[in-house]
Chains A and B, each alone.
Chain A
């Protein structure tokens, strides 16, 4: 199975900050990577797919980059509603594994 390792696992930031979350794959996955946002008690929400394509309706302050084994999710100018857990997923080969998550908290 392809392992995805996110860093950091916890992130403390303030409204207006720019934050970056990294996702590293144990083997190359081209650009078959998606990012999700999850709030407590809710289902994950798709933010980005194909490593850098913004899902319809997602604010442009979210962006993704990377290819192969290293990927990043960047959130510019954090808003109060952005404090949540973020998770990457590889969809290159079964099983479609997920990273362990990064919890973004308000400083």
Chain B
């Protein structure tokens, strides 16, 4: 059974840092691109960052570029999101997501973690 379990969320002051982790199991972690998606309270979904299966390629939304760093340790089946210079608008539930694709290269997010809440407030 595929499982994605996030951890590391919590309350942090503006300007502070936090590292989220996502422990993956039930599939060959090193074969999949992984994403972080966030959802602010009462708002829609926002793609935050992505990393290729090998870790060699990364993507960041403009809203977090230069402040967040995505990484992965395929030997530990773990995805990370290092967040720094946090702002109130970063307050959200952060989901770890597996990206899959079909034979026609149609991509989709097939497994999501339960999410971890990050609250940025003084």
A: residues with CB less than 8 A from B are 31-32, 34, 36, 43-46, 49-50, 53, 55, 87, 89, 91, 94-101
- B47 close to A (CB within 8 Å): yes
Nearest-Cβ distance from residue B37 to partner chain A, whole angstroms: 8
Q: A94 touching B45 by the CB < 8 A rule?
A: no
Give the secondary structure class of A's interface.
Answer: loop
| Closest partner residue, chain A, to B112 (CB atom) | A43
C-alpha gap A9/B107 in the complex (Å):
25
Which residue from A32, A55, A97 sits with its C-beta under 8 Å from B110? Answer: A55
Q: A97 touching B95 by the CB < 8 A rule?
A: no
Sample 18 A-B pairs with CB under 8 A, ordered by A number: A43-B114, A44-B45, A44-B95, A44-B112, A46-B109, A49-B102, A49-B106, A89-B109, A91-B108, A94-B50, A94-B59, A95-B47, A95-B59, A96-B107, A97-B47, A98-B45, A98-B47, A101-B44
| Closest partner residue, chain B, to A50 (CB atom) | B106
- B73 close to A (CB within 8 Å): no
- The range of chain B's interface size is 20 to 34
Q: B59 touching A99 by the CB < 8 A rule?
A: no
| Closest partner residue, chain B, to A34 (CB atom) | B108
Q: Which residues on the A side are within 8 Å of B44 (C-beta)?
A: 87, 98-101
| Closest partner residue, chain B, to A92 (CB atom) | B107
8 nearest A-B residue pairs (beta carbon): A49-B108, A50-B106, A43-B112, A91-B107, A98-B45, A34-B108, A96-B47, A95-B47
Q: Which residues on the B side are within 8 Å of A44 (C-beta)?
A: 45, 95, 109, 112
Nearest-Cβ distance from residue A45 to partner chain B, whole angstroms: 8
- B11 close to A (CB within 8 Å): no
Q: A50 touching B104 by the CB < 8 A rule?
A: yes
- B46 close to A (CB within 8 Å): yes
C-alpha gap A99/B44 in the complex (Å):
8
